[in-house]
Chain A
């Protein structure tokens, strides 16, 4: 049973721009974003004046302006009907696609251009700058809350309640690295494989999180732009269409210290907790939209930035039961050899975190068309992408497919 909006829209053009710290020219997020957007329009074969909507992720940390989307549309010389930043933190990246699908399905526009871009790794010291964004300056930062220590509140409680152990979490780091070794753009591609013992003996950052449990900030910047259109236009004019089969979104809080005071609704129904997130709600919405189940998903990406959080997301996205993520990973559930293809670029832990982006979706689409830059998973028909905005606050899920779901 699918809903009318399922597969009513398709991604018909993709552009990407990538830069590294240390490149001769220090690229800004805007430079990368414009380059990717122009490429996306070219790959879709549409003119600028056909762009009915421009949706961007939140303003890049390395390019702070009040309305980033306005900067971008000036550079592109487009005058869209709909135009906004989508600001569910990192979850807003996939949110751009969801708004595009809504506007297209409603028939308000024919084409939407979705752009995310960041180049923090070129311009900022993210260890210190991110702590100021991730915690409340009034009630959290004065206590010396680092970014990992905020996520560690979820980790401690999750491991306590479900008996998840550090070596179970470490399995995520190990398998993410195995994928990253094959990817030409992964931050850790040249660092060699790691073992569970390597993770457990890496230095403590914020207990229970050790260095190799944490995402690596991407040492550069990435922009990804996508052109989305309606089904009838896609079928008539775009032979290479990747279908947006289903999507969902759920946000629960801004600061971790306040999250505990919000409950009485899904996913925090029966009292405060730090072990369930909006990702479960978002995934249920996405599955229900297209009538698929986790068994139908051939490849999964999550932007969860810590090892334990990836285990939580495997639970929330439906690939194992609540509290079973650790056992699932330990029994080979996400093994590079033979497990569910999970974080096939290396995830945030070994590909790297660009603060926001559609690059996980770009990778999923490349895999679907047999054009992966890294290790190609054979015969991918349907992929799921989870976008996260911190700290475990905002969650978007998109399911994409090679064939249009009926």
Chain B
């Protein structure tokens, strides 16, 4: 596998939106999430952490929604959580995903009280609400390196 296959999209510069040959703007320039994707290439799950009140937040958060501090920084976390909700996908949203059908997407609730949308993989399974889940890193169908969650087991 080439090095490129492990590289996430560089969201820190945003994604170009094109209208025919014309560049019309950026989709969510996200320098605030660069630290998250830096962690992903090191197989490390990171969340935003508020230095002022100690709460963890979704990697996109810019200000602490509880105390208002803008002093959020990335911190590596356990990657341990449980299945909050899930859906087994049988109709793909794009051609790249057809060969993987069916696969399971869902919401994982981490022990840090932060939830992430993710891919669940049954190892050993079954994928059900409340089942324990732990982070792993996979290169998914469109070539993106992403955190996924393995369900079942200890």
Which residues of A line the B interface, CB within 8 A?
64, 127-128, 131-132, 135-149, 152-157, 160, 203-209, 255-258, 260-262, 264, 272, 274
Contact = CB atoms under 8 A, between A and B. Distances in A.
Interface core residue of B15, B117, B140 (most chain A CB under 10 Å): B117
Given A144-B92, A153-B85, A204-B90, A257 B115 contact: yes
A260 B93 contact: no
A131 B94 contact: yes
B92 A138 contact: no
Contacts of A208: 87
A64 B118 contact: no
B115 A272 contact: yes
Given A137-B28, A145-B89, A260-B84, 9 more contacts: A136-B117, A144-B92, A144-B103, A160-B129, A203-B90, A255-B117, A258-B58, A264-B66, A272-B109
A143 B117 contact: yes
A138 B27 CA distance: 10
Contacts of A203: 90
A139 B27 contact: no
Contacts of B105: 143-145, 149
16 contacts: A136-B117, A138-B11, A138-B33, A142-B142, A143-B117, A143-B118, A144-B89, A144-B100, A146-B89, A153-B107, A156-B85, A157-B84, A206-B87, A206-B89, A256-B107, A260-B84
Given A128-B93, A144-B93, A257 B116 contact: yes
Could you tell me the dominant secondary structure of chain B's interface residues?
Answer: mixed
Interface in B128-153: 129, 140-142, 144, 146, 148
Which of A136, A139, A207 neighbours the largest number of chain B CB atoms within 10 Å of its CB?
Answer: A139
Nearest to B148: A143
Interface residues of B, number: 48
A143 B107 contact: no
A262 B65 contact: yes
B114 interface: yes
B119 interface: yes
A205 B15 CA distance: 29
A135 B119 CA distance: 14
Contacts of B100: 144
Contacts of A160: 85, 129
A363 B89 CA distance: 34
Interface in B30-58: 30, 33, 57-58
